A and B are shown apart, each in its own frame.
Chain A
Amino acid sequence: MIRIAASRLATSLIALLGAALFAFIALRVAPGDAARLVLGPFATDEAVQALRVKMGLDDPLPVQFWHYLTSFVSGDWGWSYSLGQSVRDLLGERFPATLELGLYAFLFALVAAVSLAVIGAFRRGLLSDGVPRALSVFALAVPQFWFGIVALIIGFEMLGLFPGPSGRLPPGVTAPAGPTGLYTIDALLAGDLATFATALHYLALPAITLGLLPFGFLLRLLRANLLDVAGEPFVLVARAQGQSHFRVFLRYVLPNAIIPTLMASGLILGQLLAGSVLVERVFNWPGAGSLVTQGLLQQDYSVVQTFILLSAFIYILANLFVDLLAAAIDPRIARGAGQ
């Protein structure tokens, strides 16, 4: 287990380095001279050249890459010339919002998919089986932004059960101060249950909207796997040994069926972090999505580049966790890596 953890950690580091290199190169080959962009079209060539030297743009590429890496690690993520703010401050405010939304969307997708799939596969009937099936088709078929708008119309306008598209917290409520920037977690750390509940309330609709597609996908995947495994001979044999239907399901069917779902959910988490732009727009969520789109359009690449790296980091971390979890469940994975 330690060996597999070490080997996965090593691959993760390499992947991270690769992501950094990719982000770096993408920036270098992108059109436009960074120094010129900063100074604007009316600056003299001498001024531009002076800034180039100051920014290190005349150094050899490997040296530039090294500077880029070290400054990233030390927390200097560059300067957004279009917004006149340091990227760290910008993303420090926006990225946690995206992260929190992505995490809750993921949590919703995973928990809802697992429970519905389990109920459907354990007791096969019209209600327990047909409802999950219909739900997964629905979740995979509806466009996200459309569902978001409909959810707002019904949940906010008609029923008044959920807050409108007004960001993470109602006006007047101060954001909890904390180390993570995720309001729910910071509120919990501060022991402020009321703010926690409010933050959760504001998260509900956007998270469900964002998590709908992965929910449908995971539900379908896990359902198919559960039904497959339920037909395996070892299930029959365990039943013939006098183990109850429920226990056999819990002890044999679920552990064998859940591994592909776990693997897939690692991939999905990364997707959720990067793909929330539309949902953020619908719910006026102050996340990184709009920031990054804007950065792309205005050639403000330091913002984009940092966002890519941060997403890659979280994504790789999530997959590392999922790999270790799968290895803990399935010994063959651990042995395969240990050989």
Chain B
Amino acid sequence: MLELDAITKVFRKRGPFGGGRSTVALDRISVRIGDGRTLGVIGESGSGKSTLARIALRMIAPDSGTVRFGGRDITRVSGKALRDFRRKVQPVFQDSAGALDPRMTIARILREPLMLRGDVPRAEWSKRITDILTAIDLSPALRDRYPRQLSGGQRQRIGIARALLMEPEILILDEPVSALDVSVQANVLNLLRDLQRDRGLSYLFIGHDLSIAEYFCDDILVLHNGVQKDFADAETLFRDPKDDYTRTLLAAMPRQL
């Protein structure tokens, strides 16, 4: 469905007189997110996992390689084709507080995607918002609140709701539960699983926690300094890791209780 093929991205720090150092953020990385499946991209800081997410969202362009969506090369499209793509591939970020405008009520925040879409009659907006709040297990009464009046888990749900209102096919989940408490994390993960089942969504899950990845993802790609270290279905990767770095990661995990 969404395919990233041989993506390379180099970041240059430019000095005032040219030159400067460059870091290879991604080195010929290829991933494919199948319909209704979840692909996990796991790595430590500096692994390039967030760069990959931003390329998948077309927020930044790769230096080389192609991004294909539904078989179509969208690496360099613009205008309507890009807007269509953006609507179908929606992000959910880690920092839910930072991603929501603090001066807007929840209802206003949720009206924006409907406004952007333009194909939902204004009369229906209120109902759509009520429906989506119910779908993510939040009380519709929250619509008049401001983001700061919500808990971290509730804000993260609003972030998901906002993405869902665009009726996307793919969600790019960039560390969606990293900032949440264990109990809240469980709720959000359950919600994402239910949504996938009910709506046939595909996920690109970016994360650093191996146990969450193992629980949540179908296939897992392990990134280290922009290089692919391992790729397998979740079960195989944990039972029988091929790469030394994956083994190091697994060994470094805190005890399982």
A339 and B12 CA atoms in complex are apart in Å by 13
Is B71 engaged at the interface, CB distance under 8 Å to the other chain?
Answer: no
Is B16 engaged at the interface, CB distance under 8 Å to the other chain?
Answer: yes
A-side binding surface: helix, strand, loop or mixed? Answer: loop
Interface string of B223-238 (1 = CB under 8 A from A): 0000000000000000
Closest to B16 in A: A339
Chain B residues, CB < 8 A from A339: 15-16, 20
Interface string of B1-24 (1 = CB under 8 A from A): 000000000000001100010000
Which A153-183 residues sit within 8 Å CB-CB of chain B? none
A283 and B12 CA atoms in complex are apart in Å by 58
B58 to chain A, nearest CB (A): 31
A339 and B18 CA atoms in complex are apart in Å by 11
Interface string of A327-339 (1 = CB under 8 A from B): 0000000000001
B210 to chain A, nearest CB (A): 28
Total interface residues in chain A, CB < 8 Å: 1
A339 and B20 CA atoms in complex are apart in Å by 9
A339 and B21 CA atoms in complex are apart in Å by 11
A339 and B16 CA atoms in complex are apart in Å by 7
Chain A residues, CB < 8 A from B15: 339
Interface string of B84-99 (1 = CB under 8 A from A): 0000000000000000
A141 and B16 CA atoms in complex are apart in Å by 43
B93 to chain A, nearest CB (A): 24
A339 and B13 CA atoms in complex are apart in Å by 10
A141 and B15 CA atoms in complex are apart in Å by 45
Interface string of A305-339 (1 = CB under 8 A from B): 00000000000000000000000000000000001
Chain A residues, CB < 8 A from B16: 339
A339 and B15 CA atoms in complex are apart in Å by 6
A315 and B16 CA atoms in complex are apart in Å by 25
A168 to chain B, nearest CB (A): 46
Interface string of B27-58 (1 = CB under 8 A from A): 00000000000000000000000000000000
B18 to chain A, nearest CB (A): 12
Which A7-30 residues sit within 8 Å CB-CB of chain B? none
Interface string of B220-253 (1 = CB under 8 A from A): 0000000000000000000000000000000000
A87 and B16 CA atoms in complex are apart in Å by 41
A43 and B35 CA atoms in complex are apart in Å by 91
Closest to B13 in A: A339
A52 to chain B, nearest CB (A): 45
Chain A residues, CB < 8 A from B20: 339
Closest to B20 in A: A339
A270 and B16 CA atoms in complex are apart in Å by 28
B172 to chain A, nearest CB (A): 32
Closest to A339 in B: B15
A122 to chain B, nearest CB (A): 31
A243 to chain B, nearest CB (A): 31
B13 to chain A, nearest CB (A): 8
A63 and B88 CA atoms in complex are apart in Å by 64
3 contacts between A and B (CB under 8 A): A339-B15, A339-B16, A339-B20
The 3 closest A-B pairs by CB, nearest first: A339-B15, A339-B16, A339-B20
